[in-house]
Amino acid sequence: MAGLKYSRQRESIRNCLCSREDHPTADMIYASIRQEYPNISLGTVYRNLSLLVETGEIRKITTDGADRFDATLTPHSHFICKSCGCVLDMMIPIEDPVAEVDRLWDEGDVEECRFEFRGVCKKCRKNKSQA
């Protein structure tokens, strides 16, 4: 996306995402951004999130519900709760799976590797046991 015009709204969306650890949805980001830009539309938030994903500035996490977004670009895994839908970072040390697969696989160049774990988070498990 060479030559992408600077946008204060896009920068604000990116900064909002960088300040959070909860892997928000577009709707959650929209609610936060509206405090600074009351006239911003949800469509503008979606378009700018798509641009930020396309330029590699953020990541999109596809879940069973709404897509979530992550500004942490260092290699890490995610845990997705099947009950409440929360997305948690899992910093599991994995040497370099991309380099290893790329070395063994002669079909092309591997550029990225993502691990996802799904289950029930501690909070939901605790709530279920108290019910």
The Cα–Cα gap between 63 and 48 comes to 20
CA distance 30 to 49: 11
Question: What percent of the chain is modeled with pLDDT above 70?
Answer: 91
> 5-32: per-residue pLDDT in tens?
889 999 999 999 999 999 999 999 999 9
pLDDT tens-digit profile of 73-91? 888 889 999 999 999 998 8
**Domains defined along the chain, listed by start:** 1-71 (1.10.10.10), 74-131 (3.30.1490.190)
Kindly report the pTM of this predicted structure.
0.82
> Can you say whether the dihedral through the CA atoms of 8, 71, 28, 3 is positive or negative?
positive
Task: Round the average pLDDT of the chain to a whole number and report it.
Answer: 88
Measure the CA–CA gap between 73 and 70, rounded to whole angstroms. 8
Taking the C-alpha atoms of residue 71 and residue 76, their distance in angstroms, rounded to an integer, is 12
